[in-house]
Amino acid sequence: MRKPSFPILLTLFGSLALVLAGLMIANPLDGEPRSELLQFFGRFHPTVLHLPIAFILLLAILETRTFFKPSSSLKPAIPLILTLSIGSVLLAVLTGFLLAYAGGSNEELVIEHMRMSIFLAIGALAMGSLKLFWDQRFAKTAYRLLLLVNLGLLASSSHDGGSLTHGRDYLTKYMPNVIRPIFGLSVEAKSTANSVDDLVVFKDLIHPIIEQNCLTCHNPDKQKGELSLETYAGHLEGGDMGPSVVPNDADNSELVFRITLPEDDEEFMPTDGKPPLTTEEVAFISWWIENGASDTATVASFETIPAAIEQYIVGVFDMMLTPEEIEAQEAKRIELYAKLNKLNDELGILITPIETDASKFRIDTFSAQKSFDRKMLKRLAPFADTIIEADFSSTQLSDASISMISQFKNLRTLNLSKTQIEGSTLANLAKVESLESLNLYGSQVKSRQIEQLAKLTQLKRLYLFQTELYSKVTIERLRAALPDCEIDLNDNAI
Ligand code: HEC
């Protein structure tokens, strides 16, 4: 570049900057969207903004190099790169302004980002001006200081810009926990769920969908429609149109309304051509809202979950695990299977995994039956937590075994039909909070033990066919004591 052209270009840029400044002062950001043509030009901002980043960094490299080696052959490139830096910063500020002004953004972070970028433009222009006084000593020192300041402004402005597009924690989201405290960040509370049942529905399942698809426009810094979906409270509070989530009422939840509109509807979310939620995700969110939209409920706390929803949850859980965790789980499972297989063979019983979750098991004793006794039951104790369903029908188990069975604390279904059990210890089962179904069909349970059964308030189903208790009067009494429990007079199947 020949010498005289630099001052001319600089004057040109200076004038452009003044016009731009005038424009921005005359048209402050007011949050109102403007003409589509302005928006069209504004949308070049995300492309253009990479230029000043690259040029200013390159300038810093060239200046550093020639500072240490004044004779460097790179020196003649400096005026060109400086000119390109100034020009591209101005272009980025212009397009950025159009994007915010025409797009109707005036959030705090947008203004902060714009302020930093304007400072950067002023700083770049000032560096250019200092080149005009290059033979003065102060100019070189001031220029280098300014370059450092501008690098800081560039970093800050780029970071704010990135936060605007991707959300504030985009960069730090997956920062390793060991270095998070250095940056003043809290250690990310990764889901601590060890199983699907432990998942907290809102935190572990709903929020990640929102985070992935909605937070770029609905966060505290950028509340489109006055709506921030960053917190649970934000969902209930909603935006311009009122609450986004109305617990137990998906039909009146603005959020559900928006995600179930036809995709080409103006009000469809996510807007701006962002990929829509999957059918499964939409169904899952609706299900959560219909069932209370709790922020603390875990998967286990739902009595019944429709199969499709359950399948979705299991799929998400599997994806949450790292390959190492999957491997470790798999190894544990194989070990457990080997042990259970050994028991299967020794005791002549059948221990099978329950469909959706292969770490939970069902025990059947039908091949052992008469030979299955208390001692054998004791052998199962180490696996007590993994057993969800147990069929001990026609075995030798008696009242003395009930306290041992009450150690199976995740048991849901217990079949004690045709056993010698008389019922004197049944109240022990009150400890097994998850127990839903108890089958005493054809057992020796005595009518005087009705009080023992009355304590099992967690039960949903109780079968008493062919026992002393199987009479209309007793069953009426039991129904009064266990209002949530179905005690069927005719049905003896489990
Ligand atoms: C690209 C930006 C963008 C994304 C992404 C986005 N929204 Fe919006 N959202 C908007 C804008 C702009 C409005 C305000 C205009 C309107 O009401 O349609 C809005 C409004 C809303 C409203 C109405 C708020 C009120 O009370 O007025 C809801 C609810 C909503 N969005 C939900 C969502 C959900 C759920 C997602 C993710 C699946 C999402 N949005 C993703 C831009 C976005």
Same domain? 142 vs 27? yes
343-378 tens-digit pLDDT: 888 888 888 888 655 678 899 988 887 889 999 999
Task: Say how far apart CA 120 and CA 147 lie, in whole Å.
Answer: 10
| Long-range contact set of residues 38-44: C-beta below 8 Å, sequence gap at least 24 | 38/98, 38/101, 38/102, 39/98, 39/99, 39/102, 39/103, 41/95, 41/98, 41/102, 42/95, 42/96, 42/97, 42/98, 42/99, 42/100, 42/101, 42/102, 42/103, 43/99, 44/95
Same domain? 114 vs 262? no
Same domain? 81 vs 110? yes
375-425 tens-digit pLDDT: 999 999 988 988 999 999 999 999 999 999 999 999 999 999 999 999 999
More confident residue, 396 or 185: 396
Residue closest by Cα to atom 4 of ligand 1: 270
CATH of the domain at 100: 1.20.1420
Report which ligand 1 atom has the smallest distance to the Cα of 225: 14
Does 389 reside within a domain?
Answer: yes
What pLDDT shows up at residue 222?
81
Residue closest by Cα to atom 3 of ligand 1: 217
Contact (CB, 8 A) for 82 and 31: no
Is the C-beta atom of 215 inside 6 A of ligand 1? no
What pLDDT shows up at residue 329?
78
Same domain? 221 vs 102? no
What pLDDT shows up at residue 192?
67
Task: Say how far apart CA 172 and CA 156 lie, in whole Å.
Answer: 15
Distance 268 CA to ligand 1 centre (A): 8
Residue closest by Cα to atom 11 of ligand 1: 224
Does 205 reside within a domain?
Answer: yes
Distance 271 CA to ligand 1 centre (A): 7
CA-angle at 113, arms to 29 and 176, nearest 5°: 140
Distance 210 CA to ligand 1 centre (A): 11
228-257 tens-digit pLDDT: 999 999 999 999 989 999 999 999 999 999
Q: Give me the mean pLDDT over the 70-85 stretch.
A: 94
Is the C-beta atom of 224 inside 6 A of ligand 1? yes
What pLDDT shows up at residue 413?
96
Task: Say how far apart CA 140 and CA 125 lie, in whole Å.
Answer: 15
Does 356 reside within a domain?
Answer: yes
Is the C-beta atom of 258 inside 6 A of ligand 1? yes
Is the C-beta atom of 256 inside 6 A of ligand 1? no
Q: Give me the mean pLDDT over the 460-473 stretch.
A: 91
How many Cα neighbours within 13 Å face the side chain of 477?
A: 14
Instruction: Give the residue among 71, 248, 224, 332 at the shortest CA–CA distance from 236.
Output: 248
Distance 272 CA to ligand 1 centre (A): 10
Does 176 reside within a domain?
Answer: no
Residue closest by Cα to atom 33 of ligand 1: 269
Task: Say how far apart CA 16 and CA 427 lie, in whole Å.
Answer: 86
Same domain? 248 vs 386? no
Is the C-beta atom of 104 inside 6 A of ligand 1? no
Same domain? 356 vs 477? yes
What pLDDT shows up at residue 359?
75
More confident residue, 123 or 358: 123
Report which ligand 1 atom has the smallest distance to the Cα of 257: 29
Instruction: Give the residue among 286, 320, 307 at the shortest CA–CA distance from 200.
Output: 320
Same domain? 315 vs 437? no
Report which ligand 1 atom has the smallest distance to the Cα of 255: 29
Is the C-beta atom of 269 inside 6 A of ligand 1? yes
Is the C-beta atom of 216 inside 6 A of ligand 1? yes
Residue closest by Cα to atom 2 of ligand 1: 217
Question: Is the pLDDT assigned to residue 103 strictly greater than 90?
Answer: no
Instruction: Give the residue among 383, 454, 372, 446 at the shortest CA–CA distance from 415.
Output: 372
Is the C-beta atom of 254 inside 6 A of ligand 1? yes
Contact (CB, 8 A) for 267 and 240: no
Question: End of a domain among 267, 291, 320?
Answer: 320
Same domain? 352 vs 478? yes
Same domain? 71 vs 141? yes
Residue closest by Cα to atom 7 of ligand 1: 270
Q: Give me the mean pLDDT over the 86-101 stretch.
A: 95
Does 333 reside within a domain?
Answer: no
CATH of the domain at 424: 3.80.10.10
Same domain? 294 vs 346? no
Question: End of a domain among 166, 188, 210?
Answer: 166
Question: End of a domain among 268, 292, 320?
Answer: 320
Same domain? 383 vs 446? yes
What pLDDT shows up at residue 460?
94
Same domain? 125 vs 41? yes
Does 173 reside within a domain?
Answer: no
Q: Sorting pLDDT into bands at 50, 70 and 90, what band is 493?
A: very low
Q: Sorting pLDDT into bands at 50, 70 and 90, what band is 492?
A: very low
Q: What's the number of domains the chain is made of?
A: 3
Does 406 reside within a domain?
Answer: yes
Does 328 reside within a domain?
Answer: no
Is the C-beta atom of 271 inside 6 A of ligand 1? yes
Q: Sorting pLDDT into bands at 50, 70 and 90, what band is 189?
A: low
Q: Give me the mean pLDDT over the 206-228 stretch.
A: 90
Q: Which domain holds residue 130?
A: 5-166
Distance 243 CA to ligand 1 centre (A): 13
